[in-house]
């Protein structure tokens, strides 16, 4: 079997992928993640997942490369990674009492074949006050996370409900869909 490469430096994605017990390496894709004018959140996630996989696959012919991207959507608009404490607090305040969709796209590419999947997770945030938001952001510093929270940590306390087909998708790498793509690519999984 050829090498498996994760086109990401995200420790969250690497931790999830390690659950499948397949050897892999991680390479940072050099991809501009700027949304295109009028681009829908799901289309943005799919485009970026494919671009990441293809960017790394170009330098590793024949190896399977996993690209993944997640875009949060609130009222039709994409929410990016906040980057700052103030931006994270503003995102969480906007999501308070709202349903947010998380589009997590996958692409498995080896330079010849291009396999894709998409998972959509709906999260209902409970009503959050300013003090709760600030305590949460100070505690977990979710500045590199789409939607400004870490559901695998304290962020779960911000929710009323999660509706999904794959609980790993919200962390950033939907393992159910990825397992299906890897089987199609010839990997032996249980």
Give the single-character DSSP code of 34.
Answer: P
Q: What proportions of the chain, in percent to the nearest 5, are helix, strand and coil?
A: 35, 25, 40
DSSP 82-136: --SHHHHHHHHHHHTT-EEEEEEEEEEE-SS-EEEEEEEEEEEEPP--HHHHHHH
Selected catalytic residue, list 63, 69, 119, 166: 69
Active site residue 138: no
Residues designated as active site: 69
């Amino acid at each position: 079997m050829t090498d498996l490469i994760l086109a990401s430096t995200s420790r969250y994605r690497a931790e999830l992928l390690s659950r499948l017990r397949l050897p892999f390496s991680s390479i940072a894709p050099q991809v501009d993640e700027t949304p295109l004018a009028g681009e829908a959140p799901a289309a943005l996630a799919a485009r970026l997942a494919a671009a990441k996989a293809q960017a790394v696959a170009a330098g590793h012919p024949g190896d399977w490369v996993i690209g993944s991207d997640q875009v949060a959507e609130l009222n039709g608009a994409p929410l990016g990674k906040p980057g700052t404490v103030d931006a994270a607090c503003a995102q969480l305040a906007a999501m308070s009492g709202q349903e947010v969709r998380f589009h997590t796209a996958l692409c498995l590419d080896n330079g010849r074949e291009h396999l894709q999947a998409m998972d959509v997770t709906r999260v209902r945030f409970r009503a959050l006050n300013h003090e709760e938001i600030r305590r949460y952001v100070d505690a977990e510093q979710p500045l590199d996370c789409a939607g400004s929270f870490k559901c695998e940590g304290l962020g779960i306390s911000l929710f009323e409900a999660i509706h999904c087909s794959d609980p790993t998708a919200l962390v950033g790498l939907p393992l159910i869909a990825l397992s299906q793509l890897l089987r199609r690519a010839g990997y032996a999984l249980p």
